[in-house]
Amino acid sequence: MDISEETFIANLGIHIRQLREKKNMSQQDLANDSEIPKSQVARIERAEINTGIRTLVKIANALDIEPKELLDFSIK
């Protein structure tokens, strides 16, 4: 399967938002718990930036999930 980077990043952002909402966390909660700015959380969820592995690990830790779970989503 051949997907574009933009499609992958968009789907990743949607998945992170869904995981955050499932935990009843606001963007501010996630930002505080992951020690990244709220504006960065918002830009990741809106697929405005291509985030790095370190940030994904921080987000996974804040969501209390394994980092690999962040990448476990279907491409739409």
Residue pair 56/36 in contact by the 8 Å Cβ criterion: no
Q: How many domains is the chain partitioned into structurally? A: 1
d(CA 30, CA 76): 25
pLDDT at residue 75 in the model: 85
In a domain, 42, yes or no: yes
- Determine the angle formed by the axes of helices 5-22 and 53-63, rounding to 10 degrees: 20
Question: Residue 60: how many CB atoms within 10 A of its CB?
Answer: 19
pLDDT at 1: 66
Q: What pLDDT band is residue 76 in, cutting at 50, 70 and 90?
A: confident
On whether residue 74 sits in a domain, the answer given is no
Which residue range(s) make up the domain with 52? 5-63
User: Which residue type occupies 35?
Assistant: E
Q: pTM of the entire structure?
A: 0.92
Q: Determine which of 24-28, 62-66, 71-75 has the lowest per-residue pLDDT on average.
A: 71-75
73 in a domain, yes or no? no
48 belongs to a structural domain: yes
**For the domain that residue 55 is a member of, what is the CATH number?**
1.10.260.40
Cα 31 to Cα 4, 34, 64, distances in angstroms = 27, 5, 14
- 9-59 residue pLDDT tens: 999 999 999 999 999 999 999 999 999 999 999 999 999 999 999 999 999
In a domain, 68, yes or no: no
71 is a domain residue: no
